[in-house]
A and B are shown apart, each in its own frame.
Chain A
Amino acid sequence: MSRVAIAVLIALVLLGSTGHPTAAQTAKPVNEDLVHDIAAQLRCVVCQNLSVADSPSEMASQMRAIIRERLAAGESPADVQRYFVDRYGEWILLSPPRRGFNLLVWLLPLAAVVVGLAAAAALVWRWTHGHRGIRPPPVAVDAAMSERIRRELEGRS
C-alpha cells in the first residue's frame, strides 16, 4: 500500500518536474530507488509470490534491466508499468488495481471490520444496558426455611 503511494508520489513529482522528455533528457541517469519501486510492484513471473525486486532469478534481473532502460529512455513509471501489464495482464501486478471487481478485495475487509465493530458494540450495549431494571424474579422461600435462616444468623452473632 505505502509503496504504491510512494511510487505514485514519485511519478507525480517526476511528471511535474520534467514534463515531456526532450532529446537532451532521454539519456538521463536513472534513479535506482525508482527502478526498485516499480520492480517491487511487479510479480516475478518465474517465482512463487516474489516481486521482481526481490527475486534473484535471471528473468527478474532482465526485467529490472528493462525497467531501467525504459526509464532512461524517458518513460514515466506509469508507462513502464503499463508496458508490463499490456504483455502479462493485470496478473503481473502484485496488488490488484482498485477498480471494478477488484474493489471487492479492498472493500470487503473494511466492510468486515465495520460489521464486526457494530456487532461488538451491540453486544456490549446489550450486556450493560439491556437488562437494567429487570430484577430476577423473587425466589419463593417457605416460612420454615426463612425462620431457620433468621435463627442461624442470630446464633452466630
Chain B
Amino acid sequence: MKRLRRWLIPLAAVPVLVLLGYGFRVSPRDIPSPLVGRPAPGFALATLEGAPLDLATHRGKVVVVNFWASWCYPACYEEAPVLERNWRGYRERGVVVVGVDIQDKREAAVKFVGDFGLTFPVVQDLKGAVSVDYGVYGVPETFFLDSQGRIRVKHVGAVTDDVFRTTVDRLLAEAAGP
C-alpha cells in the first residue's frame, strides 16, 4: 500500500505529460482541409477586366486556384512572380492559373496585377462566398485541381517554384494516364 502510494502521484503526471507532448507537437495553425480529394466548388465571377470566368469551362485541365489579396505582404508579393512564371511555362500544356482576389479593393487589386505584370485571369470574390466555399482561412492559399475537377493539394502560404512544378507535373502525368 505504501509503495503504491509513493508511485501514485508521479504516475498521475504521466497522462498530463503525454497530453502536453502531443499538444506541443501539433500546430494549431496546421488545419487539414476536409476538401482535399473532393470535387472543387464551382464558381462564376467577373475578372478584374469585367469578363466572366466560369471554373466549369476549365474542366478537364489541371487548374491552379490561388487566393490572394493586395494587402497580403510579403507572402502574396513573393508568390506573384512565381505564379506568373509558371503560368507562362505551363499554359501550353493546358494548365490554367486563376487568381481569386479576396477582401480587397478593386483599385488596389488592379495596381497589384499591373505591378507584377500578371497575365493569368484574376477574379474578385467581393462577398467572400468563394473563399468560404473553399474553406479559405487566410491568404495566400492555393488549390491544385486535377483534370477531373477534384481538389488534390491545398498549399498554405506562398507557392514556390518547387511546389508548383512538383504538384502540377504529378497531376499532368496522372491526366496523361498510363
Known: A87-B34, A89-B33, A91-B31. A62 touches B135 (CB 8 A): no
Known: A89-B31, A89-B34. A84 touches B138 (CB 8 A): no
Q: Chain B residues near A84 (CB, 8 Å)?
A: 132
Q: Is B43 an interface residue (CB 8 A)?
A: no
In the complex the two chains form, what is the Cα distance from A84 to B34 in whole Å?
A: 11
Known: A88-B34, A89-B33. A62 touches B127 (CB 8 A): yes
In the complex the two chains form, what is the Cα distance from A20 to B32 in whole Å?
A: 34
Task: Pull 11 A–B residue pairs with CB atoms less than 8 Å apart, ordered by A.
Answer: A45-B136, A45-B138, A58-B103, A62-B127, A62-B128, A65-B127, A65-B128, A85-B34, A87-B34, A87-B132, A87-B133
Residues of B at under 8 Å CB distance from A?
Answer: 31-35, 103, 127-129, 131-138
A 56-85 contacts with B by CB, 8 A: 58-59, 62-63, 65-66, 84-85
Q: Is the CB of B128 within 8 A of A66?
A: yes
In the complex the two chains form, what is the Cα distance from A85 to B129 in whole Å?
A: 15
* Interface residues of chain B: helix, strand, loop or mixed (majority): loop
In the complex the two chains form, what is the Cα distance from A47 to B112 in whole Å?
A: 25
Q: Chain B residues near A147 (CB, 8 Å)?
A: none
In the complex the two chains form, what is the Cα distance from A82 to B135 in whole Å?
A: 13
Q: Is the CB of B132 within 8 A of A66?
A: yes
Taking a contact as CB atoms closer than 8 A, the residue among A46, A58, A88 that contacts B135 in the complex is A88
- Looking at the assembled complex, report how far the CB atom of A73 sits from the nearest CB atom of chain B, in whole angstroms: 12
Q: Chain A residues near B31 (CB, 8 Å)?
A: 88-89, 91
In the complex the two chains form, what is the Cα distance from A84 to B135 in whole Å?
A: 8
Residue of B nearest to A90 (CB): B34
4 nearest A-B residue pairs (beta carbon)? A62-B128, A45-B137, A87-B135, A89-B34
Taking a contact as CB atoms closer than 8 A, the residue among A46, A62, A89 that contacts B138 in the complex is A46
Identify 8 new A-B residue pairs, CB closer than 8 A, beyond the known A58-B128, A66-B129, A87-B34: A45-B136, A45-B138, A59-B131, A62-B129, A65-B127, A87-B134, A88-B34, A89-B33
A 83-138 contacts with B by CB, 8 A: 84-89, 91
In the complex the two chains form, what is the Cα distance from A84 to B33 in whole Å?
A: 12
Q: Is the CB of A59 within 8 A of B103?
A: yes
Q: Chain A residues near B133 (CB, 8 Å)?
A: 87
Taking a contact as CB atoms closer than 8 A, the residue among B35, B103, B128 that contacts A87 in the complex is B35
Known: A45-B137, A46-B137. A62 touches B34 (CB 8 A): no
Known: A87-B35, A87-B133, A89-B32. A63 touches B138 (CB 8 A): no
In the complex the two chains form, what is the Cα distance from A66 to B126 in whole Å?
A: 12
In the complex the two chains form, what is the Cα distance from A84 to B131 in whole Å?
A: 11
